[in-house]
Chain A
């Protein structure tokens, strides 16, 4: 089909409808989308990928809106950067449907050709992103956007996939979201390259600031680096913002840029690129193996294994071993 070639050309020449269609194909895991990405992948690797995560209601969408505005309207001596936004919201575990409402907070960005916003449903993935988010981000990168902002599902404590996808991860907190024990637990705070306390005009903002700073001094992974190491360490800054009043946004953008400079100067940019590609490769292989296994599974095998489990004749470990070895047996017999 010549349409595929046209799609790639159109995306590279900045056609927005073609880009939107490509994102749909990638999201739907359609063969045409994969074929297009085969040709587009060499154009990726240029955008600064920025993740924005944090608990529901902490103000992620409002902050993304403000960051994008600041990147589009920089100080006089700096060039405006084009911005793509991928906003992920959860799918219903029961119906598979979703209401994607992040655009509600991004109305300031309407009418700007240097902005492209795409909403994504998580479609059953649990890490705070959708399975196809990596592919969608690559397509936007190939389409030439300088910055891709990825807003995760409202995250709790373990939705840390974004740190593997992004060069720079922002973790957004709001005042009053828990005591200082929350701040020393493992998980989402550990992945922050920049910590933002939004709603800084709400009561408790200062004690949240103190708790997070103390947490960073106490337990940031950088303190485990061998002493005498010559590589400069990145200590995540803790910033306060009021996204609804556009306060503190410039400082956030400066911190993001400082982090990008740090990554480039220390060589960590390549390291992150590498680990992102590895994570994606592993995920795709896992998915492919799973699909092959399911396709080759004898009919009734799953049901009969489940029945043995229900009757307590086998343990889940035994059943899993049995199901995964069935195919090799089938070849032997």
Chain B
């Protein structure tokens, strides 16, 4: 009788106001049957970690176009871990130089998506990661 849904937080940290990408992803995940919590613009890392905790999400998507990703994303990772959410699948979307993307994945980000990424790929990556998490 257990009915499990994949829950994803879509967050927009920092000061850029371009939330179209975040909304497109939110919509695509919804259409894939997931429950998407959307928090709106200009979230601090603390607000994002708090929302991820209260909502007990399986994945956190961070959309950044401001260039501040090397400051904001590591801070979010630290806060999530401090809260005990070690197994959350974290992905980043935005304009991220390859060099930085490598550093972010080394720090624990599961995937970094640039412009032109198909939403299908994002959906598949999340589903696979979360299903793997459930199995053992």
Interface size on A, residues (CB 8 A): 31
A121 touches B33 (CB 8 A): no
In residues 88-111 of chain A, which contact B (Cβ within 8 Å)? Answer: 91-92, 95-101, 103-104, 107, 110-111
Docked Cα-Cα span, A330 to B50, in Å, equals: 54
B3 at the interface (CB under 8 A from A): yes
Chain A-chain B contacts (Cβ-Cβ < 8 Å), number: 90
Docked Cα-Cα span, A96 to B32, in Å, equals: 8
B120 at the interface (CB under 8 A from A): no
Contacts of B7 on A, CB cut-off 8 Å? 24
B35 touches A20 (CB 8 A): no
Chain B proximity mask over A12-25: 1 for CB below 8 Å, otherwise 0:
00001100110110
Of the stretches B39-47, B64-72, B89-97, the one at the interface is: B39-47
Known pairs A103-B37, A104-B39; A95 contacts B84 (CB<8 A):
no
Interface of A is mostly: mixed
Contacts of B110 on A, CB cut-off 8 Å? none
Contacts of B46 on A, CB cut-off 8 Å? 110-111
* Chain B interface bracket (under 10, 10 to 19, 20 to 34, 35 or more): 20 to 34
A92, A97, A111, A116: the one within 8 Å of B54 (CB): A116
Docked Cα-Cα span, A98 to B51, in Å, equals: 17
A96, A101, A103, A291: the one within 8 Å of B5 (CB): A96
Give the residue among B3, B30, B51, B54 with the most A Cβ atoms within 10 A. Answer: B54
A28 at the interface (CB under 8 A from B): yes
B54 touches A16 (CB 8 A): yes
Q: Which residue of B lies closest to A103 (CB)?
A: B39
A121 touches B35 (CB 8 A): yes
B55 touches A118 (CB 8 A): yes
B1 touches A29 (CB 8 A): yes
Q: Which residue of B lies closest to A24 (CB)?
A: B56
B4, B29, B40, B55: the one within 8 Å of A119 (CB): B55
Docked Cα-Cα span, A116 to B31, in Å, equals: 28
Contacts of B33 on A, CB cut-off 8 Å? 95-97
In residues 110-145 of chain A, which contact B (Cβ within 8 Å)? Answer: 110-111, 116-119, 121, 123
A123 touches B56 (CB 8 A): no
- Extra contacts, 20 of them, besides A17-B85, A98-B36, A103-B51 (Cβ < 8 A), are A17-B53, A17-B56, A20-B56, A23-B56, A28-B5, A31-B2, A96-B33, A97-B36, A103-B38, A104-B38, A104-B40, A107-B39, A107-B43, A110-B44, A110-B51, A111-B47, A111-B50, A118-B54, A118-B55, A121-B35
- Residues of B with Cβ closer than 8 Å to A? 1-5, 7, 26-27, 29-40, 43-44, 46-47, 50-51, 53-56, 83-85
Across the A-B interface, the 10 shortest Cβ-Cβ residue pairs: A104-B40, A97-B30, A20-B56, A110-B47, A24-B56, A97-B33, A96-B33, A95-B33, A30-B2, A100-B37
